[in-house]
Amino acid sequence: MSADEQSHAHVPVLLDRVVALLEPSLADEGAVLVDCTLGMGGHSEAVLKRIPTAHVVGIDRDPEALARAGRRLAPFGDRFTAVHAVYDEISDVLAELGRPSVGGADAVLFDLGVSSLQLDERDRGFAYREDAPLDMRMDPTRGPTAADLLNTYEAADLTRVLRDFGEEKFARRIADAIVERRARTPFTTSGPLVELLYDVIPAPARRTGGHPAKRTFQALRMEVNDELAVLRRALPASLEAIGVGGRVVVESYHSLEDRLVKRAFTAGSRSEVPADLPFVPEGSEPELRLVTRGAEKADADETTHNPRAASVRLRAVERVRPAGSNPSTASTPSSTDRTRKQDGGARR
């Protein structure tokens, strides 16, 4: 690993707790973890080191992250397999590896949001503290950039993105200013956008809630990468992918993401039997069991050393009955549209 890559080999948020939650599902020889957000490979490396029975399939849409994680995890040989894909394609990934899409994995992990690599690479445009191209694509080879959205979206659409994904209370004011500014000079880099935000957001609001560009950049990133729609498709697919005793573990950093996770986990773990019934009829038991009580958070010590941990919400669920065994709680099939060719390669 190069010195640059070593600098990125940070400790992921709640690493020990995540591995502990995954371990019971990976005890059997050849057990498979699908790391849906491989990133720089931090979670996968910890699993491969601490659970010698495990094999990891690492998914990422970022080719550069795949390459770096591949070099980091090369010492584990064929215990690690990297796949260039978006994580809502988990069913297709398992099928291409010769495993069933239902029950073909023993555990699935999601560490949502942007990776440290993407934040640290200036030309990717995820960070707002220096002037850089407004890209923000997790896969820089496909799709419109953040600049494309800023220069083409109507004011109403920009308002929706900033309000819904960034929870920005000045969304309409910012959207109108963007439309007015781009009529004179289209957006290409982050500097002019940050300047605009400083001008548009009132001074009292700028003094609270962190950097004034934080919410806008988060919203643009989520729109560029279609993050919530991908997660909506990925959650039911991941729950179907695990067999009995398998677990799905999710780290979220945004309330909208965590809400989707909570809803999916709760629906699968809730009994449809009336509460006043003295027993649960055979075949009516829930398919899933909640492993965490609500959402777990990082402690003060971890938050002090890693500010990103302050917003983490960790949830885990375990399959206790086969997928589809209870029609009232069966997961909705994933509706991925896989039109692009995925390649192996080797992301956190």
Domain boundaries, the chain: 3-117+227-319, 139-224
Whether residue 87 is annotated as binding a ligand: the answer is: yes
Query: Residue with structure tokens 């690599």?
Result: 117
43 annotated to bind ligand: yes
Give tens-digit pLDDT for 151-198. Answer: 999 999 999 999 999 999 999 999 999 999 999 999 999 999 999 999
Question: How much of the chain is in helix, strand and coil states, percent to nearest 5?
Answer: 45, 15, 40
When pLDDT is averaged across residues 241-245 and rounded to a whole number, the result is 97
Question: Rounded to an integer, what distance in angstroms lies between the CA atom of residue 122 and that of residue 129?
Answer: 10
Q: What are phi and psi of 14, to 5 degrees?
A: 50, 40
CA distances from 271 to 237, 249, 258 (A): 21, 21, 22
Q: 60 labelled as ligand-binding?
A: yes
Banded model confidence at residue 307, pLDDT cuts 50, 70, 90: confident
Tell me which residue of 58, 225, 69 sits closest to 135, measured CA to CA. Answer: 225
- The answer to whether 347 touches 65, Cβ cutoff 8 Å, is yes
Give whole-number Cα distances, 20 to 46, 98, 252, 315, in Å: 11, 28, 18, 13
Instruction: Check if the beta carbon of residue 274 is closer than 8 Å to that of residue 344.
Output: no
**Beta carbons of 315 and 265 less than 8 angstroms apart:** yes
pTM of the model: 0.85
In tens, the pLDDT along 92-129 reads 999 999 999 899 999 999 999 875 555 555 556 567 77
* Residue 42 marked in a binding site: yes
CATH tag for 3-117+227-319 (out of 3.60.15.10, 1.20.1280.260, 3.40.50.150, 3.40.228.10): 3.40.50.150
- Coil/strand/helix, residue 176: helix
Q: Is 71 exposed, middle or buried (0-12, 13-18, 19+ CB in 10 A)?
A: middle
Q: Which of 139-143, 222-226, 227-231, 324-328 is least confident?
A: 324-328
Report pLDDT for 5.
42
At 51, list the tokens.
């659970």
CATH architecture, domain 139-224:
Orthogonal Bundle (1.10)
Categorise residue 245: left if φ over 0, alpha if ψ from -120 to 50, beta otherwise: left
What interhelical angle do 63-73 and 42-50 show, nearest 10? 30
Choose among 225, 223, 210: nearest CA to 128.
210
Position 336 pLDDT exceeds 70? no
At 126 the pLDDT is 64
Mean pLDDT is lowest, of 40-44, 118-122, 163-167, 259-263, for 118-122
pLDDT at 330: 42
- The pLDDT tens digits of the residues spanning 136-148 come to 998 888 899 999 9
Q: 305 a known binding residue?
A: no
Mean pLDDT of 327-337: 42
Q: Annotation-wise, does 254 bind a ligand?
A: no
pLDDT band at 206 (very low <50, low <70, confident <90, very high): confident
Provide the pLDDT confidence category of residue 339 given band limits of 50, 70 and 90: very low
The pLDDT of residue 335 is above 50:
no
Least confident of 47-56, 89-98, 122-131, 303-312: 122-131
